[in-house]
Amino acid sequence: MVKLNIEEIKRSLLNPKLKTIILTHSDMDGIASAAILIRYLKLHRGLDYDEIKVLFVGPSTLLNALQLVKKSNCGIYITDISINERHRRGIINELKRLKRNGNRIYWIDHHHWREETVKEIEKIIDWITVKKTPSAARIVYMALNSSDEVSGRIADYADDIDSLTDRLEESFTLRVLSFKNEWREKLLRKFSEGVIVNGEVREEGVKIRRLIDREVEKALKKAKIMWTKGKRKFAFIDLREAKLPKSWLARKVAEKYNLDFTMVLRKSNAISLYIGSKKNSEINLLPIAKHYGGGGHTFACGFKLKLSLKSKILNYLTFGRYISGEVKEAVELAKLKL
């Protein structure tokens, strides 16, 4: 999760040359979506790199980011982010304000949406498309830039990485790098210039692969295997200190123990749910995320918890190792509902 650097955003949005703002998810799919968009804007709209600003956001920070955009007559793209239903009213108000200021707004996503919400937003902005594709980058590619071979390759990587398939060379490395602040901008630049895997990425790959055995072992040790009322086998895993992508580690644990799903504590106040490795398991994890105002896919979703002051203090005193009552409650809810 990326924290918004509000001062940096405000400063960068002052650039008078700015014609396009892209608000995209801070993961690999988000980077890929923005890169394909940038290629499209350069190739077909004649824009320069410095006329485009990319803001990396998440479902919980989108509203905040929109509030910072005081531009008029710009193109505004939102990619690989679904609406957080908790912020629905606020986001809709911001979209209306931005439209009144003469901006054009486009929203492209592949997460789970309420149909009514899509319809409501459709009436306000210029274009919204929500499709069930492996990646959002795939939609950007198909809709805007399908004649560009490089964009096609970027979309292949986004599919491979976002669906945890990892069939392509260095997909794993790219996923790990996309979580590092200093790499996000670099990857965006490289991708938009048509460079996906190069020597520098491969070098990082060697370093990252050295971590694999130890990190997988740690995750397996931390996994607490449990059963739900509906007889689903799952693991609760505290991955707050993990150095590799948490969704990937969760998958490794699920494969080892043949789980229906995993429940990952990614931060003291953030939990993700991932489908397990069992074949034909038709489990919908979204209701748990929705219960807490979160979202995502039926097979991978997440939410944030409101922690009590006591939990916050105990987290602080234990250097973030404390498992709070709120977290335990969420585990109980999953046991009951899934």
**Does 80 engage in binding with Mn ion (CB under 5 A)?**
yes
Stretch that binds Mn ion, among 7-15, 42-50, 115-123, 128-136 (CB under 5 A): 128-136
Shortest gap between Cβ of 227 and Mn ion (angstroms)? 30
Binding piece for Mn ion, criterion CB under 5 A, among 53-61, 156-164, 165-173, 269-277: 156-164
For Mn ion, the closer CB: 155 or 338: 155
DSSP class per residue in 43-83: HHH---GGGEEEEEE-TTTHHHHHHH---SS-EEEEES---
Task: Provide the mask over 214-233, with x wherever binding to Mn ion is found by CB under 5 A and - wherever it is not.
Answer: --------------------
To Mn ion, the closest distance from the beta carbon of 27 in angstroms equals: 7
Per CB under 5 A, does 170 bind Mn ion? no
User: To the nearest whole angstrom, how small is the minimum distance from the Cβ of residue 137 to Mn ion?
Assistant: 8
User: How far is Cα 287 from Cα 297, in angstroms, rounded to an integer?
Assistant: 10
Please give the DSSP secondary-structure letter assigned to residue 301: E
The CB-of-41 to Mn ion minimum distance in angstroms stands at 20
Q: How far is the CB of 78 from Mn ion (least distance, A)?
A: 12
Min dist. Cβ of residue 111 to Mn ion (A): 7
Amino acid at 57: V
Nearer to Mn ion, 137 or 265 (CB): 137
Which phi and psi (to 5°) does residue 292 adopt? -100, 15
Q: Which residues contact 245 (CB under 8 A, 6 or more apart)?
A: 175, 176, 179
Residues 6+ apart with CB under 8 A from 59: 81, 82, 83, 84, 294, 295
> Could you give the CA distance from residue 251 to residue 243 in angstroms, rounded to a whole number?
15
Instruction: Find the binder of Mn ion among 20, 29, 40, 190 (CB under 5 A).
Output: 29
Q: Say if residues 158 and 182 touch (Cβ distance below 8 Å).
A: no
Burial of 163 (0-12, 13-18, 19+ CB in 10 A): middle
**Judged by CB under 5 A, does residue 109 bind Mn ion?**
no
Selected from 148, 156, 159, 162, the binder of Mn ion by CB under 5 A is: 162
Is 35 a residue that touches Mn ion (CB under 5 A)? no
- Segment near Mn ion (CB under 5 A); pick from 133-141, 173-181, 243-251, 273-281: 133-141
Structure tokens at 202: 């491969």
Site of interaction with Mn ion (CB under 5 A): 29, 80, 136, 162
